[in-house]
Structures are given as C-alpha cells and as structure tokens.
C-alpha cells in the first residue's frame, strides 16, 4: 500500500523566519521522491508537517486525502526517519526494535534481523553508546523494516560511512521493488542517491523551484564532449538565449562542457556530425544551477 501526499499553499513560520512559503505539491503514491534543497530551504519543516510532527501556520497537508495531524489512523502509516534514533539513550537496541514491532503495523521482524546483521548493529548496546554511524544505521533499519506506506528519510543516513550508505541504497531499492510504497528521501548526497529517485522536488527558501520526473530534469541539460575546437565551434553556433554553460572540464585536446538547455534534433545532428559526444548532465550540476538561478531572481 502507498499513500499520496498533497500540500496546498503551505506556510510555516518560526517567528520572523518563513521556513515554508506558500508551497503546493502533489505526490501520487507509489514512487520514490527526492527532496532537494540547500541548507535551510525548508525540507525538514515540510516533512515534519507531512509526518504530523508539526502544525503548519497556514495551508493544508493531506495524506491519502486526510489531514495527518492528530490522526492516528494516518500517522500509524507514516514513518519519519531522521539521523537520530527516536528512543531513550538508556534503551538497548533490542528494546528499540521490540517497541517498533509493537507500534508498526507492517513491521517485518525477519527483515529487521537481516538489516541488524548487515549493518552489524549490537543488540545489547545502549542507544546512547552507539557511534553516530550506528545510530543512523539503526534509524534506517527502523525505517525500512517498518514498511510504512509513507516512509520518509530525512538525511537519515548522513552519519553512515560510504559502504553502509551504499548498503542502505541497495536495501531501499530492493525492498521498495518487493514492497512498493511511497518513499520521500531528503538529501544533500545527490549524486549517490539520485539514481533511486523517480521524481525530484527542489525547494529554495521554502518555495518550490522544480518538481519533475528525474529523467525529464536530466534531459534539461547536456554534456558536450569532443576536441576543444569542435566543442567551442558547436557551442558558439547555439543560440545563446536558452543555453547556459554550467561548467567545463579539459583533458589535453578534449573537453566536456555541460550546458543547461535542450538541443533540438537539428542541433543534435550537427553535434554528431562534428564528432561530438552528447551525454547526460549530473543531477548535482542541475541542482546547483537551478538553486543559483532562484537565488539570482530573488
């Protein structure tokens, strides 16, 4: 089962700070969404409201059509995972897992045990005595094994080292395929985890600056690679308006220039005829470009 999320003209203020600014968003169920944004762009604030941890200043959130705040039937179906464990420091890992089993209607104990082994988590250790990475690993274990119809990872795996993070991405993808649900992942590690996202949502200062299928977003940029002169000649022929150079890398007589802006069939044909290679642009480059453009237009 997967839950949809609708956000309508949502605003959250902390005193004078507008953390979420009239945000509207539709996330149909059954996909993995990437929620991206620079520090302080409002990701945690939005996710906290969706998960019913906070109330909005104005606007509405509906999870599968229902307001989640103080709605136990809905909140039971939502798992909000952060990089700290929602448990007492004095509780041992085994106790935390036991509690999750009683609270989570779709809890899979066998899968939880598998994850405990994979992340090498010590069952008898107190939460307060776990390393930062182990705390994150316990959090993602709780998030995955809960199999909640709406599962939210808010930078939950930041404390984990690279092998553990890749283990998490692999588990997330495999378990999502076996047990489809709605997953929202907020992250700064765009390149690492970006391939998991079916849709990407980008926030800037609490506002929506992009919401697109990942492939559509990727297709908005192109990397042009070839001999330096050929690349320069080709780029000089493109209409300047609508194409922004995001960056370039040179290696001897070749270079790769990434641009924001789509090429039409004619332009693609000319590039190929000139012996140029056209490749995808990284999500990270597009993210940097879009957030910088939003900054400049404010």
Contacting residue, 2, 4, 11, 40, with ligand ATP by CB under 6 A: 40
DSSP letter at 195 equals: G
Q: Is 59 in the site for ligand ATP (CB under 6 A)?
A: no
Q: Which residues contact 145 (CB under 8 A, 6 or more apart)?
A: 100, 104, 107, 108, 109, 111, 112, 115
Choice from 9, 14, 58, 213 touching ligand ATP (CB under 6 A): 14
Of the candidate residues 3, 33, 34, 44, the single one contacting ligand ATP (CB under 6 A) = 44
Q: Does residue 141 touch ligand ATP according to CB under 6 A?
A: no
b/e 159-194 (16+ beta carbons within 10 angstroms → b): bbeeebbebbbebbeebbeeeebbbbbbbeebeebb
Q: Nearer to ligand ATP by C-beta: 175 or 204?
A: 204
Our finding on whether 291 is near ligand ATP (CB under 6 A) is no
Residue (35 or 222) nearer to ligand ATP, CB: 35
Q: In degrees, to the nearest 5, what angle opens at C-alpha 209 toward C-alphas 207 and 210?
A: 130
Question: Are 46 and 22 spatial neighbours (Cβ–Cβ below 8 Å)?
Answer: no
> For residue 124, is it left (φ>0), alpha (ψ between -120 and 50) or beta?
alpha
From residue 60 to residue 99, the character string flagging contacts with ligand ATP as x (rule: CB under 6 A) and all else as - is: ----------------------------------------
Smallest gap from Cβ 234 to ligand ATP, in A, equals: 38
Shortest Cβ 12–ligand ATP spacing (Å): 8
Instruction: State yes or no: residue 182 binds ligand ATP (CB under 6 A).
Output: no
DSSP letters spanning 206-244 = TEEEEEEEHHHHHTTEEEEEEEHHHHHHHHHHS-STT-E
DSSP state letter for 124: T
Residue 34 as a binder of ligand ATP (CB under 6 A): the answer is no
Give the shortest CB-42-to-ligand ATP separation in angstroms. Answer: 4
Q: Which stretch in 12-20, 94-102, 108-116, 221-229 sits in contact with ligand ATP by CB under 6 A?
A: 12-20
Under 8 Å between Cβ of 27 and 182? yes
**Phi then psi dihedrals of residue 191, to 5 deg:** -65, -40
**What is the spatial distance between Cα 250 and Cα 228, in angstroms, rounded to a whole number?**
8
43 near ligand ATP, judged by CB under 6 A: yes
| By CB under 6 A, residue 104 contacts ligand ATP | no
Residue with Cβ nearer ligand ATP (21 or 171): 21
Q: Does the protein bind ligand ATP through residue 45 (CB under 6 A)?
A: yes
Q: Which of 9, 17, 131, 262 binds ligand ATP (CB under 6 A)?
A: 17
Q: Cα(first)–Cα(last) distance of the chain, in Å?
A: 40
> Which C-beta is closer to ligand ATP: that of 44 or that of 77?
44
User: Residues in the site for ligand ATP, rule: CB under 6 A?
Assistant: 14, 17, 19, 37, 39-45
């Amino acid at each position: 089962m997967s839950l949809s999320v609708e956000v309508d003209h949502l605003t959250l203020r902390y005193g004078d700070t507008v953390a979420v600014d009239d945000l509207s968003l539709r996330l149909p169920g059954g996909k993995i969404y990437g929620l991206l944004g620079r520090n302080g762009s409002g990701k945690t604030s939005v996710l906290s409201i969706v998960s019913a941890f906070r109330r909005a200043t104005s606007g509405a959130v509906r999870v599968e059509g229902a307001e989640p705040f103080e709605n136990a039937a809905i909140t039971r179906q939502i798992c909000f995972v952060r990089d700290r464990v929602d448990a007492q420091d004095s509780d041992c890992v085994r106790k935390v897992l036991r509690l999750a089993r009683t609270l989570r209607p779709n809890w899979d104990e066998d899968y939880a045990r598998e994850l405990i082994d994979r992340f090498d988590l010590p069952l008898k250790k107190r939460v307060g005595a776990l390393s930062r990475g182990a705390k994150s690993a316990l959090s993602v274990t709780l998030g995955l094994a809960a199999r909640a119809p709406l599962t939210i990872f808010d930078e939950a795996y930041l404390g984990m080292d690279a092998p553990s993070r890749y283990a998490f991405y692999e588990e997330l993808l495999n378990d999502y395929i076996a047990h489809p649900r709605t997953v929202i992942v907020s992250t700064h590690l765009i390149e690492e985890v970006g391939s998991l996202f079916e849709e990407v949502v980008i926030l800037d200062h609490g506002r929506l600056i992009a919401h697109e299928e990942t492939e559509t977003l990727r297709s908005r940029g192109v990397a042009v690679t070839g001999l330096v002169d050929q690349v320069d000649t080709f780029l000089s022929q493109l209409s300047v308006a609508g194409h922004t150079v995001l960056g370039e890398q040179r290696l001897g007589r070749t270079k790769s220039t990434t641009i924001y802006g789509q090429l039409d069939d004619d332009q693609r044909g000319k590039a190929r005829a000139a012996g140029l290679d056209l490749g995808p642009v990284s999500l990270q480059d597009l993210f940097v470009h879009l957030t910088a453009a939003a900054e400049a237009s404010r």
